Amino acid sequence: MFERSIGNQTIALAGIYQSCLTVSNIAWKGTYVKEDLNPLINSVLKIDSEDIADIYIGLKHLKPGFIHLRKQLVGDIFTRREETRRYFASLIELSKKLQSNSEVSSQIKELVNKLNKSSQKLELTVDDIVSELSNIYIKTLSKFEPRIVVNGENTHLTVLLQASRIRTALFAGLRSVFLWQQSGGSKLKMFFFQSKMVKKIDEYLKY
């Protein structure tokens, strides 16, 4: 049970770090990889699964997240990113605010459920879903102050679809924070069980 708990925490952390990496890549480079965003989208929409790997459509889809997480855990000063740590801290703070606001939490669940039903009836593209998730983020999570500040190049940040992808990645990052906490995750455990998590990462990267 303990090992499974550490395993689930590591998977959820990979989700968080893939979200942070996606935000940075879009904001600074305008780089968007559909295959990297798809598991993040699925993690927001799939709210009834008991298998954490299934929430991300399988572990192989979290490879960028696992690699980025590993670098932050055991990398040197050249591979660790201050920006990632800032996004991580901001997402944790946002999770606390959402937990204390049942009204906004209920609103998010209602809107996500509505989007799920629409996606089942209509043939929505990935961009359609991204735009809808971005709108949900704006209506709910963006009301909390201070907002998460995304740094990057204006040429990318001012593109509507790219901005929607960034909000979707942040939304998914928040979802992963909750999954991490529900699996017993905490910053203290990240510190004390770092070596166990690295072993799990190396195991999962073989998938």
Overall pTM > 0.85: yes
Q: CA–CA distance from 168 to each of 6, 161, 162, 191 (Å)?
A: 26, 10, 10, 28
Per-residue pLDDT of the chain (207 residues; tens, 9 = 90+): 445 699 999 999 999 999 999 999 999 999 989 999 999 999 999 988 889 999 999 999 999 999 999 999 987 665 568 999 999 999 999 999 999 999 999 999 999 999 998 887 788 899 999 999 999 999 999 999 999 999 999 999 999 999 999 999 999 999 999 999 999 999 999 989 999 999 999 999 998
Q: Give the model's pLDDT for residue 78.
A: 58
pLDDT at 108: 97
Domain boundaries, the chain: 2-204
CA 176 to chain CA centroid, nearest Å: 5
Residues 2-204: name the CATH superfamily: HflD-like (1.10.3890.10)
Q: Specify whether the CB–CB gap between 60 and 39 falls below 8 A.
A: no
Residue 100 CA to residue 94 CA, distance in Å, equals 10
d(Cα 164, Cα 167) in Å, to the nearest integer? 5
